[in-house]
């Protein structure tokens, strides 16, 4: 064993990755465990048997001075999409220093772990159980105190694993998904940038299997004849489809996400949270995908990781640290730094709803980007998080041939938007297929709109010239509209975040029949 600091170990591993530990080398990697230690906790790097005979590259942190014969609670951390096993080094060390055995491993199909990328398929779920089995056999881990956690891809895997392995007592799922279809195919619209980024990262850092390659091609190629197969594939990888099993197993579930997550929007997490019946906690903060937890992965102070440790301490160690007596829904507005606690998700918009009438008809020509859009994947919401600069648009300058605009009156007092904004309207298309994107803006005195929320909507097989009703939920948020500002709903037909389905020459008319008025319903925080 060579003794050095954890920081040096991380630097060595990063350098090794940079020097070409390519994904195709998985089967040629050495199988001898390597150990690195410091004065506090100890880490060893291992080959861990996964399901189906593959090898997973992992590391194990053990508390300093672990006593012979004593058992310690176990936490298993699969890696995020495209990241190697060193992802959680900083947090794993902190957990080990506080008395946990922590096993992290590179998810199958990525980097030097064996197998193909299965996208949280059955082999990934079986890997979690295999790693637990290995840890119980090869470390002083306690079989009665097992937790799972992780960010993004790992969050999806661990939620599913808690449905299949009753030994799991606690889960912390950060920036993940519970419903894969609602995450990247909401409103029946492909989330282009999200799917393309995940696909590219998979090819660069791993080995997508034939099934995933075919699915990505069909998804990005808009193969509607394969739509139902793609939906069924996603359902098998969604914890929302297995919530009854999760509830039966009784694990304590903590969920964390960002309001502006452009890969896994928050709505689907909130709906899943409401269906859980065991101990549970839901946290939403400003930011984009994994930005709320990112600083914690570097070992810096981080609210999400602090609460993750508290959650494990309460449900794996039995510590009475108060996390289970706090309001279980904790949110932070995009406009200020304070936290707000609620008894449940339904209470977030407990101040009632404000309905904005969409009384004027708007006729749009499709296929042209009006300038209103949801921003850039990973970047725009991160700017909103750190410098409070969300995507903006000049509302008076939006070309009315390509964008429909409705505005409220100026508000005498601030409006604290909390929860899920809902749009109800009547749409008449000139073609059978089409897409529109709805945006809600906070508009200042100079007409500059700051994006509050957005969501896409796609239809297929409609009768041209025949009106139909549309109900669309925008992505959930917490945003304070200052006094003197107004809200504006904007609709257009092109956004770089999404794949649109408007045929050449398509036109859309939004109307408000007297018998079925159109409106936007805005949930507000109780004053």
DSSP 361-383: -EEEESSS--S-----TTTHHHH
What is the distance between the alpha carbons of residues 170 and 104, in angstroms, rounded to a whole number?
A: 16
What is the distance between the alpha carbons of residues 426 and 511, in angstroms, rounded to a whole number?
A: 5
The percent of residues above 90 in pLDDT, for the chain, comes to 90
What is the distance between the alpha carbons of residues 185 and 197, in angstroms, rounded to a whole number?
A: 15
What is the distance between the alpha carbons of residues 496 and 117, in angstroms, rounded to a whole number?
A: 27
Could you tell me the pLDDT band of residue 40, with boundaries at 50, 70 and 90? low
Whether the per-residue pLDDT at 445 is higher than 50: the answer is yes
In this structure, what are the phi and psi dihedrals at residue 342, rounded to the nearest 5 degrees?
-135, 155
Could you tell me the pLDDT band of residue 42, with boundaries at 50, 70 and 90? confident
426, 510 contact by CB (below 8 A): yes
Distances (CA, A) of 315 to 147, 272, 347, 417: 9, 20, 25, 33
The two three-digit tokens of residue 483, written as one number: 């006094």
Could you tell me the pLDDT band of residue 65, with boundaries at 50, 70 and 90? confident
The two three-digit tokens of residue 327, written as one number: 């309001």
For the stretch 86-134, pLDDT in tens is: 999 999 999 999 999 999 999 999 999 999 999 999 999 999 999 999 9
What is the distance between the alpha carbons of residues 443 and 447, in angstroms, rounded to a whole number?
A: 6
For the stretch 301-338, pLDDT in tens is: 999 999 999 999 999 999 999 999 999 999 999 998 89
Whether the per-residue pLDDT at 4 is higher than 60: the answer is no
Instruction: Look over the chain and give the mean of its residue pLDDT values, rounded to a whole number.
Output: 92
> What's the pLDDT at 29?
38
The two three-digit tokens of residue 181, written as one number: 């279809």
- Is-above-0.75 flag for pTM? yes
Helix segments in 190-239, DSSP class H: 192-205, 210-220, 227-235
What is the distance between the alpha carbons of residues 43 and 37, in angstroms, rounded to a whole number?
A: 6
Rounded to 10 degrees, the C-alpha dihedral 407/408/409/415 comes to -130
Sheet holding 42-49, edge to edge: 34-37, 42-49, 55-62, 101-105, 72-78, 141-151, 168-174, 252-258, 280-285, 329-332, 339-342
191, 498 contact by CB (below 8 A): yes
The percent of residues above 70 in pLDDT, for the chain, comes to 92
For the stretch 13-24, pLDDT in tens is: 333 333 233 333
What is the distance between the alpha carbons of residues 142 and 440, in angstroms, rounded to a whole number?
A: 50
Q: Tokens 């392995």, residue? A: 165
215, 190 contact by CB (below 8 A): no
Element (H, E) at 105: strand 101-105
Burial class for 322, CB neighbours closer than 10 Å (0-12, 13-18, 19+): exposed
- How large is the average pLDDT for residues 70-92? 97
For the stretch 376-400, pLDDT in tens is: 999 999 999 999 999 999 999 999 9
Residues 69, 63, 140, 278, CA torsion sign:
positive
> What's the pLDDT at 300?
95
């Amino acid at each position: 064993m060579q003794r050095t600091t954890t920081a040096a170990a991380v630097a060595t591993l990063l350098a090794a990755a940079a020097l070409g530990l390519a994904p195709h080398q998985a089967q040629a990697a050495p199988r001898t465990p390597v150990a690195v230690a410091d004065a506090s906790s100890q880490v060893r790097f291992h080959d861990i048997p996964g399901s189906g005979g593959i090898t997973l590259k992992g590391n194990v942190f053990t508390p300093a001075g672990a006593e012979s014969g004593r058992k310690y609670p176990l936490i298993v951390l699969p890696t995020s999409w495209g990241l190697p096993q060193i992802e959680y080094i900083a947090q794993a060390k902190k957990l080990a220093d506080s008395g946990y055995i922590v096993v992290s491993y590179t998810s199958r199909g990525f980097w030097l772990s064996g197998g193909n990328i299965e996208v949280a398929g059955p082999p990934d779920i079986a890997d979690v159980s295999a790693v637990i089995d290995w840890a119980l056999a090869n470390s002083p881990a306690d079989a009665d105190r097992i937790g799972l956690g992780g960010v993004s891809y790992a969050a999806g895997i661990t939620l599913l694993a808690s449905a299949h392995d009753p030994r799991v007592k606690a889960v912390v799922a950060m920036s993940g998904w519970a419903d894969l279809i609602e995450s990247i195919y909401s409103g029946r619209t492909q989330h282009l940038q999200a799917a393309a980024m995940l696909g590219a990262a998979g090819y660069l850092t791993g080995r997508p299997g034939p099934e995933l390659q075919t699915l990505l091609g069909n998804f990005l190629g808009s193969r509607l004849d394969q739509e139902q197969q793609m939906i069924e594939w996603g359902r098998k990888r969604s914890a929302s489809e297995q919530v009854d099993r999760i509830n039966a197993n009784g694990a304590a579930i903590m969920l964390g996400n960002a309001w502006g997550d452009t890969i896994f929007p928050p709505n689907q997490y909130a709906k899943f949270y409401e269906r859980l019946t065991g101990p549970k906690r839901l946290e939403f903060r400003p930011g984009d995908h994994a930005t709320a937890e990112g600083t914690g992965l570097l070992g810096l102070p981080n609210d999400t990781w602090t609460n993750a440790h508290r959650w494990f301490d309460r449900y794996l160690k039995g510590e009475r640290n108060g996390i289970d007596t706090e309001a279980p829904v904790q949110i932070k507005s995009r406009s200020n730094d304070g936290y707000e606690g609620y008894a449940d998700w339904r209470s977030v918009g407990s101040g009632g709803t404000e309905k904005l009438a969409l009384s004027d008809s708007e006729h749009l020509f499709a296929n042209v980007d009006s300038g209103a859009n949801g921003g850039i994947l990973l970047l725009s919401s991160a700017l909103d998080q750190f410098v409070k600069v969300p995507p903006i648009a000049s509302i008076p300058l939006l070309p009315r041939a390509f964008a429909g605009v409705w505005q409220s009156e100026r508000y005498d007092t601030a409006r604290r938007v909390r929860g899920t904004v809902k749009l109800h309207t009547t749409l008449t298309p000139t073609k059978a297929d089409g897409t529109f994107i709805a945006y809600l803006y906070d508009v200042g005195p100079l007409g500059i709109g700051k994006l509050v929320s957005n969501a896409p909507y796609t239809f297929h097989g409609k009768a041209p010239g025949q009106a139909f009703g549309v109900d669309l939920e925008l992505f959930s948020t917490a945003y304070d509209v200052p006094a003197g500002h107004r809200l504006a709903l904007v609709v257009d037909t092109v956004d770089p975040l999404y794949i649109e389905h408007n045929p050449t020459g398509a036109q859309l008319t939004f109307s408000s029949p007297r018998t079925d008025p159109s409106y936007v319903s805005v949930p507000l925080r109780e004053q």
